[in-house]
Amino acid sequence: MTNTSRSESLFQRSVKIIPGGVNSPVRAFKSVGRSPVFIQRARGSKLWDVDGNEYIDYVGSWGPMILGHAHPRIVEAVQKAAIDGTSFGAATERELEMAELIASIMPSVEMVRMVNSGTEATMSAIRLARAFTGREKIIKFEGCYHGHADSFLIKAGSGAMTLGIPDSPGVPRSISADTLTARYNDAKSVTSLIDNYPNEIAALIIEPVVGNMGCVPPKPNFLSELRALCSQNGIVFIVDEVMTGFRIALGGAQQLYNITPDITTLGKIIGGGLPVGAYGGKKEIMSMVAPAGPMYQAGTLSGNPLAMAAGIEMLKILKSDPSIYSRLEEKSSRLEKGFQSIIEKHNLPLMQNRVGSMFTVFFTKRNVIDYDTAKAADVKKFALYFNEMLNRGIYLAPSQFEAAFMSDAHTDDDIERTIEAAEHSLLKTVQ
């Protein structure tokens, strides 16, 4: 058993002063029946906790660490930027460079506004869609998570799903009434909402590949059907690429599945690990954002120089080296095959989903294609498995309803060790 005594004592102190002892619920390890490990430092594919334990990391700060932790070029960019000042609340050349970089990689993004998190990006995007259409309702999908703004905490995935609070108290009824929910991978469920609320729906927002109920890929043509439905009905098509952007392909899910969103929301990865988000899309729509137009949205720290410096370096590296994506695919596929051979060899009641370097092993035999099938997973068995893996030095997201992420820093040895740990852990927990 790994010694995590210092983490435990820090957690005892934390719960007295921080709600639940953490600053974001998914970090609490609550659903896996233990207290969290406190991380001290990270490099490449590894994390070290305050007790000195080393872990192979598949959380990657929930996605953005696609190059691994503390990449030297990103660290240097942040250090250099910091010397010149950490925040100005004024226009900078870096923001322009970042906007041009994003637009050069994602052609659907004709104009872009930087914000500080994915939540800010999505909540601003729906305000913009409402301003643009003059309508109030939005469609989201059960089990998708778009941050914690009121409109999205309806049948929400991620921590809300993990903790069994998909519909959070505190969200005014007037706001939840304007959020309609459809079934992921079921375009017909969208059609009936559109039929029931003609000319009332401002936007449809979707995780193109869901990461927040575990990894769930779209069925063939699902995304293009949604695109067509939105175009036919004057609905703003918002593709939330906070997890998938620059991850499952350089140009994100919109490149991989050949769809053109009206608005794209971005986060995490464009800050290279610093707090960043962005929303961007058609010029006609983005021109409504203040001060170009009347839709108000603002932020002192938006386009922060440290975050821009880190993000620009990250995007430059990703853009200049396409072999990163072939390596990610090769390594993720090798890990998937390793898990598959364990599942088949021992006839385990598990299934896997993977899109590029995002993946989840579900504790169910049924195909996981939406919220209901994800919910069918055996979370108690997952909790046992999680703990076994942690004790073997493998750091997974502490929830069945989160995706795992491969980075370019993961080594062949990391993958071998993960497969070996998984076989032992699964045999101890599943049968």
**Which structure tokens are listed for 286?**
């983005």
* Closer to ligand HOZ by Cβ: residue 267 or 311: 267
- Work out which of 31, 53, 124, 212 binds ligand HOZ, going by CB under 6 A: 212
Residue type at 50? V
In the region spanning residues 367 to 406, those forming contacts with ligand HOZ, defined by CB under 6 A, are: 402
Exposed / middle / buried, residue 2 (Cβ in 10 Å: 0-12, 13-18, 19+): middle
* Cβ within 8 Å of residue 28, ≥6 positions away: 20, 21, 22, 35, 36, 398
- Work out which of 7, 11, 14, 26 binds ligand HOZ, going by CB under 6 A: 26
In the region spanning residues 149 to 188, those forming contacts with ligand HOZ, defined by CB under 6 A, are: 158-159
Instruction: Give the three-class secondary structure for 395.
Output: strand
The DSSP call for residue 354 is E
In this structure, what is the dihedral angle of CA atoms 384, 389, 395, 396, given to the nearest 10 degrees? -50
* Active-site pick, 49, 57, 178, 240: 240
**Backbone CA torsion sign across 143, 144, 149, 150:** negative
Shortest Cβ 89–ligand HOZ spacing (Å) = 26
* Closer to ligand HOZ by Cβ: residue 21 or 159: 159
* Closer to ligand HOZ by Cβ: residue 23 or 79: 23
Instruction: Give the three-class secondary structure for 56.
Output: strand
Active site residue 262: no
DSSP per residue over 300-333, as a string? Answer: TTTT-HHHHHHHHHHHHHHHH-THHHHHHHHHHH
* Closer to ligand HOZ by Cβ: residue 145 or 222: 145
* Closer to ligand HOZ by Cβ: residue 132 or 141: 141
* Closer to ligand HOZ by Cβ: residue 212 or 265: 212
Active site residue 385: no
- Work out which of 55, 145, 362, 382 binds ligand HOZ, going by CB under 6 A: 145
Quick count: other Cβ atoms within 10 Å of Cβ 192? 12
Report which residue's Cβ sits closest to ligand HOZ: 24
Shortest Cβ 398–ligand HOZ spacing (Å) = 11
Shortest Cβ 59–ligand HOZ spacing (Å) = 9
Shortest Cβ 26–ligand HOZ spacing (Å) = 4
Confirm if 303 and 120 have CB atoms less than 8 A apart: no
Shortest Cβ 287–ligand HOZ spacing (Å) = 30
* Closer to ligand HOZ by Cβ: residue 275 or 299: 275
Quote the CA–CA distance of 290 and 381 in Å, as a whole number: 50
Quick count: other Cβ atoms within 10 Å of Cβ 41? 11
- Work out which of 5, 9, 12, 24 binds ligand HOZ, going by CB under 6 A: 24
In the region spanning residues 259 to 318, those forming contacts with ligand HOZ, defined by CB under 6 A, are: none
Closest CA to 431 of 375, 370, 388: 388
Quote the CA–CA distance of 368 and 70 in Å, as a whole number: 34
Quick count: other Cβ atoms within 10 Å of Cβ 334? 16
Shortest Cβ 61–ligand HOZ spacing (Å) = 8
Quote the CA–CA distance of 389 and 210 in Å, as a whole number: 24
CA 149 to chain centre: 15
**Which structure tokens are listed for 349?**
């009641």
* Active-site pick, 145, 184, 385, 395: 145
Shortest Cβ 425–ligand HOZ spacing (Å) = 22
How many residues can be counted in the chain? Answer: 431
Shortest Cβ 294–ligand HOZ spacing (Å) = 31
Quote the CA–CA distance of 66 and 88 in Å, as a whole number: 29
Is residue 62 at the binding interface for ligand HOZ, with CB under 6 A as the rule?
yes
Active site residue 58: no
- Please list the helix, strand and coil fractions of the chain in percent, rounded to the nearest 5, in that order: 45, 15, 40
Helices (H), 48-108: 72-83, 93-105
* Active-site pick, 30, 46, 137, 268: 268
* Closer to ligand HOZ by Cβ: residue 55 or 62: 62
Do the strands 236-240 and 46-49 form a parallel or antiparallel pair, or are they unpaired? unpaired
Cite the active site residues: 145, 240, 268
Residues of this chain that bind ligand HOZ (CB under 6 A): 24, 26, 62, 145, 158-159, 211-212, 402
